[in-house]
Amino acid sequence: MIRYALNCKNGHQFESWFQSAEAYDKLLAAGMVSCSVCGGTDVVKGLMAPRLSTSDTPEPTAPALTEETSPAEQALAEMRKKIEESSDYVGADFATEARAMHLGDSPNRSIYGEAKVEEAKELLEDGIPVVPLPFTPSRKNN
Protein backbone atom coordinates (compact mmCIF):
# COMPACT_ATOMS: atom_id res chain seq x y z
CA MET A 1 0.00 0.00 0.00
CA ILE A 2 1.12 3.54 -0.71
CA ARG A 3 -0.21 6.82 0.63
CA TYR A 4 -0.20 9.92 -1.56
CA ALA A 5 -0.70 13.56 -0.71
CA LEU A 6 -3.04 14.84 -3.41
CA ASN A 7 -4.14 18.27 -4.65
CA CYS A 8 -7.15 19.18 -6.75
CA LYS A 9 -7.40 22.06 -9.22
CA ASN A 10 -9.49 23.97 -6.66
CA GLY A 11 -6.57 24.03 -4.22
CA HIS A 12 -7.84 21.37 -1.81
CA GLN A 13 -5.23 19.09 -0.26
CA PHE A 14 -5.99 15.57 0.95
CA GLU A 15 -4.41 12.13 1.31
CA SER A 16 -5.46 8.71 0.05
CA TRP A 17 -4.13 5.16 0.10
CA PHE A 18 -3.61 3.05 -3.04
CA GLN A 19 -2.57 -0.53 -3.64
CA SER A 20 0.46 0.64 -5.63
CA ALA A 21 1.73 3.47 -7.82
CA GLU A 22 0.35 1.56 -10.82
CA ALA A 23 -3.08 1.26 -9.17
CA TYR A 24 -3.09 5.03 -8.55
CA ASP A 25 -2.20 5.71 -12.20
CA LYS A 26 -4.91 3.34 -13.43
CA LEU A 27 -7.59 4.83 -11.16
CA LEU A 28 -6.52 8.37 -12.09
CA ALA A 29 -6.71 7.58 -15.83
CA ALA A 30 -10.20 6.12 -15.31
CA GLY A 31 -11.34 9.32 -13.53
CA MET A 32 -11.87 7.43 -10.28
CA VAL A 33 -9.57 9.55 -8.09
CA SER A 34 -11.54 12.51 -6.80
CA CYS A 35 -11.04 15.29 -4.30
CA SER A 36 -12.35 14.34 -0.87
CA VAL A 37 -13.53 17.92 -0.34
CA CYS A 38 -15.20 19.00 -3.61
CA GLY A 39 -15.38 15.75 -5.61
CA GLY A 40 -13.39 17.15 -8.55
CA THR A 41 -11.42 14.64 -10.61
CA ASP A 42 -8.65 17.00 -11.78
CA VAL A 43 -6.20 15.66 -9.17
CA VAL A 44 -2.39 15.58 -9.03
CA LYS A 45 0.11 14.15 -6.55
CA GLY A 46 1.62 16.63 -4.14
CA LEU A 47 4.94 16.61 -2.34
CA MET A 48 5.12 14.19 0.54
CA ALA A 49 7.86 13.22 2.95
CA PRO A 50 8.29 9.51 3.67
CA ARG A 51 7.05 8.29 7.02
CA LEU A 52 9.36 5.93 8.85
CA SER A 53 8.16 3.88 11.76
CA THR A 54 10.06 2.00 14.40
CA SER A 55 8.74 -0.67 16.72
CA ASP A 56 8.65 1.81 19.63
CA THR A 57 6.84 4.51 17.62
CA PRO A 58 3.08 4.20 18.17
CA GLU A 59 0.81 4.35 15.14
CA PRO A 60 -1.25 7.52 14.97
CA THR A 61 -4.96 7.25 15.60
CA ALA A 62 -7.71 9.02 13.70
CA PRO A 63 -8.66 12.33 15.27
CA ALA A 64 -12.09 12.63 16.87
CA LEU A 65 -14.48 14.94 15.04
CA THR A 66 -14.73 18.22 16.93
CA GLU A 67 -15.44 21.82 16.13
CA GLU A 68 -11.72 22.10 15.32
CA THR A 69 -11.89 19.30 12.75
CA SER A 70 -10.53 20.34 9.36
CA PRO A 71 -12.90 20.82 6.41
CA ALA A 72 -11.37 17.74 4.74
CA GLU A 73 -12.04 15.58 7.81
CA GLN A 74 -15.59 16.91 8.00
CA ALA A 75 -16.10 16.15 4.30
CA LEU A 76 -14.81 12.58 4.83
CA ALA A 77 -17.17 12.11 7.78
CA GLU A 78 -20.09 13.34 5.68
CA MET A 79 -19.06 11.07 2.79
CA ARG A 80 -18.87 8.08 5.12
CA LYS A 81 -22.32 8.84 6.53
CA LYS A 82 -23.82 9.19 3.05
CA ILE A 83 -22.21 5.96 1.80
CA GLU A 84 -23.32 3.99 4.85
CA GLU A 85 -26.88 5.36 4.61
CA SER A 86 -27.35 4.95 0.85
CA SER A 87 -25.37 1.77 0.08
CA ASP A 88 -25.66 -1.89 0.95
CA TYR A 89 -22.88 -3.27 3.13
CA VAL A 90 -21.85 -6.64 1.66
CA GLY A 91 -18.84 -7.29 3.89
CA ALA A 92 -16.28 -9.80 2.65
CA ASP A 93 -18.57 -10.67 -0.30
CA PHE A 94 -17.74 -7.33 -1.97
CA ALA A 95 -15.72 -8.76 -4.89
CA THR A 96 -18.26 -11.52 -5.56
CA GLU A 97 -21.20 -9.10 -5.45
CA ALA A 98 -19.47 -6.46 -7.60
CA ARG A 99 -18.69 -9.10 -10.24
CA ALA A 100 -22.28 -10.44 -10.14
CA MET A 101 -23.66 -6.93 -10.68
CA HIS A 102 -21.22 -6.36 -13.55
CA LEU A 103 -22.31 -9.62 -15.22
CA GLY A 104 -26.01 -8.85 -14.70
CA ASP A 105 -26.51 -11.73 -12.25
CA SER A 106 -27.41 -9.35 -9.42
CA PRO A 107 -29.32 -6.04 -9.52
CA ASN A 108 -27.18 -2.89 -9.83
CA ARG A 109 -26.99 -0.87 -6.64
CA SER A 110 -24.46 0.97 -4.52
CA ILE A 111 -22.44 -1.42 -2.38
CA TYR A 112 -19.44 -1.26 -0.07
CA GLY A 113 -17.47 -3.80 1.90
CA GLU A 114 -14.06 -5.39 2.13
CA ALA A 115 -11.94 -7.04 -0.55
CA LYS A 116 -8.46 -8.49 -0.57
CA VAL A 117 -5.93 -6.55 -2.62
CA GLU A 118 -5.78 -9.38 -5.15
CA GLU A 119 -9.58 -9.37 -5.53
CA ALA A 120 -9.72 -5.61 -6.09
CA LYS A 121 -6.91 -5.85 -8.65
CA GLU A 122 -8.76 -8.59 -10.55
CA LEU A 123 -11.95 -6.50 -10.58
CA LEU A 124 -10.06 -3.53 -12.05
CA GLU A 125 -8.29 -5.73 -14.61
CA ASP A 126 -11.70 -7.07 -15.69
CA GLY A 127 -13.03 -3.54 -16.19
CA ILE A 128 -15.22 -3.55 -13.09
CA PRO A 129 -15.01 -0.08 -11.51
CA VAL A 130 -14.13 -0.10 -7.83
CA VAL A 131 -12.50 2.51 -5.64
CA PRO A 132 -10.94 2.19 -2.19
CA LEU A 133 -12.73 4.07 0.56
CA PRO A 134 -10.68 6.30 2.86
CA PHE A 135 -12.25 4.71 5.94
CA THR A 136 -12.99 1.32 7.46
CA PRO A 137 -16.70 0.43 7.42
CA SER A 138 -18.28 0.73 10.85
CA ARG A 139 -20.78 -2.07 10.21
CA LYS A 140 -19.50 -5.63 10.20
CA ASN A 141 -22.76 -7.42 9.45
CA ASN A 142 -25.34 -7.32 6.68
Model pLDDT for residues 35-70, shown as the tens digit of each residue: 878 888 898 988 765 555 555 555 544 445 455 567
The predicted structure's pLDDT at residue 96: 95
pTM: 0.50
Tally of domains within the chain: 1
Residues composing the chain:
142
Helix (H, G, I), strand (E, B) or coil at 71: helix
For residue 88, being part of any structural domain is answered with yes
For residue 102, being part of any structural domain is answered with yes
Q: Highest-confidence range of 13-27, 64-78, 105-119, by mean pLDDT?
A: 105-119
For residue 138, being part of any structural domain is answered with no
Helix (H, G, I), strand (E, B) or coil at 113: strand
* φ, ψ (nearest 5 deg) of residue 67: -65, -20
| Domain ranges, residue 116 | 2-46+70-125
Say which residues have a Cβ less than 8 Å from residue 125's Cβ, sequence separation at least 6.
Answer: none
The predicted structure's pLDDT at residue 101: 93
For residue 61, being part of any structural domain is answered with no
